[in-house]
Each structure stands twice: as C-alpha cells, then as structure tokens.
Homo-oligomer: A and B are copies of this chain.
Amino acid sequence: MCGTMVQAFEQRGDAVTLSDLYAMNFNPVLSGADFKERRDPNYLIYALEQRHALEQGALADDIAREVERVEAADLLAFSFPLFWFSPPAILKGWIERVFLSGLFYGGRRVYDRAGLVGKRAFTAFSLGGRPHMFGDEGIHGELETGMLKHFLQGTLGYVGLTVYEPFAAFHVPYISADERADLLTRLRLTIADLDQRPTMAFPSLEDFDLHFRPKPMEV
C-alpha cells in the first residue's frame, strides 16, 4: 500500500519524500536525549523542552530532519496496518517526538488555529475487520469518528491539518490476491481523485471561549 501511494502521488506530479520508519530504524521512545541542550536537566517536561530546543536549534538530528519534512510538505500521507485500532507504536513514537509543542500546536493554537493549518493529510490503513463490524450498529461502533477519533481528530485535526476521509483496506489478511490487487487499484484511484475527496469535520475554536468552554448559542 505504501508503494502504491508513492507511485500514485508521483503520477499526480507531486514530489514525494518517504519516511519509511522501519527501514530508518526510527526510535519511537521519547527521552531527555531528544534535546542537545536542556532547559531543566533535572526534570523532564517534554513539551517545554521541545519549545526550548526549537528556539535553541537543539533538537536531536533524527527529530529535526522529520520536522523539516513536515514543514516542507503540502500534504502528509500516512500508511500503516491498524493495530489495536491505532497506528503502530513506531508511528505513535514519531508523532510524540516530531509533532512539536510550540510549532505545531500549543495553548489555544489547536484545531483550526494550530500550526499546520493549510496543510492536508491522507491516511490509508489495512485491518483484519470487515465493514459490517463498524458503524452505528457494528460491534466496534464507528471507525473513523469512534475507534480512530484519537488519531484522525485528536492528532491530525488537533495540529490543524485538513483531513481527508481515510482509505480503509478491510479484511486484508483473509482475502484473495485478486481482491488485494483490487484494493490497490482503488487506493490508486482514490489518490488520483484526492482533491474531490470529502474531508472530516472537526471542532472550530470559533465555537469556544478563551478557556475552551462552549460559547453560548447566538439567538
């Protein structure tokens, strides 16, 4: 699926930069070693050290390179197998280390006022489950707005990205090679037509006051 995505974006004429986390042996565990210089060497408050290191140019090299890639991108595309209704640990750790407090979000700069407003995100994932297991009547409830809310809204939407409806490759371990080839074709067509794809609705800061309390309805 990742290879198909790279090809499909290139066929649109997009320049693609690939961060293959497994191939890069990306370290997903945050620590004090993520900062070349510390604001407080004795007690690690990770978000505050992120802000300090950003000002001082003191981010670890592996983080700084990924931050640059995110900043240079118009669109972030994620590809992974869904494990336990969420991205694999290696991608979760990439988010924890690369989505910098102060730069991508912080204070009241979340959702439609966050740092990545103007950029877009597209996610394609595989899973073992089938479509009828999700939705209002499905055993697991909603997929995109339920099980995956923490990622699509709470992570991608939170940092201000415009999030296309994701591409789900259902039941992948149990289907035939022909059916898998068909999924790749559908993924390719989805990316070719991405500009037409619906985007997800997230909260707007316009509807909340300075303390994130809902504003009274206007009458």
B-contacting residues of A (Cβ < 8 Å)?
22, 28-31, 45, 47, 83-86, 88-90, 92-93, 95-96, 99, 111, 128, 130, 132-133, 137-141, 146-151, 153-155, 158, 173, 203, 208, 211-214
Contact = CB atoms under 8 A, between A and B. Distances in A.
A24 to B, nearest CB: 11
Give how many copies assemble into the complex: 2
A85 to B, nearest CB: 4
B84 A154 contact: yes
Contacts of A93: 28, 89-90
B86 A89 contact: no
Contacts of A133: 212
Contacts of A214: 137-139
Contacts of A154: 84-86, 140, 147
A213 B132 CA distance: 7
B208 A139 contact: yes
Contact of A173 (B45, B111, B211): B45
Given A28-B28, A133-B212, A150-B150, A155 B203 contact: no
A29 B92 CA distance: 11
Contacts of A150: 84-86, 147-150
A83 to B, nearest CB: 5
A95 B90 contact: no
Given A132-B213, A149-B150, 18 more contacts: A28-B28, A29-B89, A30-B89, A47-B128, A84-B95, A84-B99, A84-B154, A85-B150, A85-B154, A86-B86, A86-B92, A86-B150, A89-B89, A132-B211, A139-B212, A140-B154, A146-B146, A147-B149
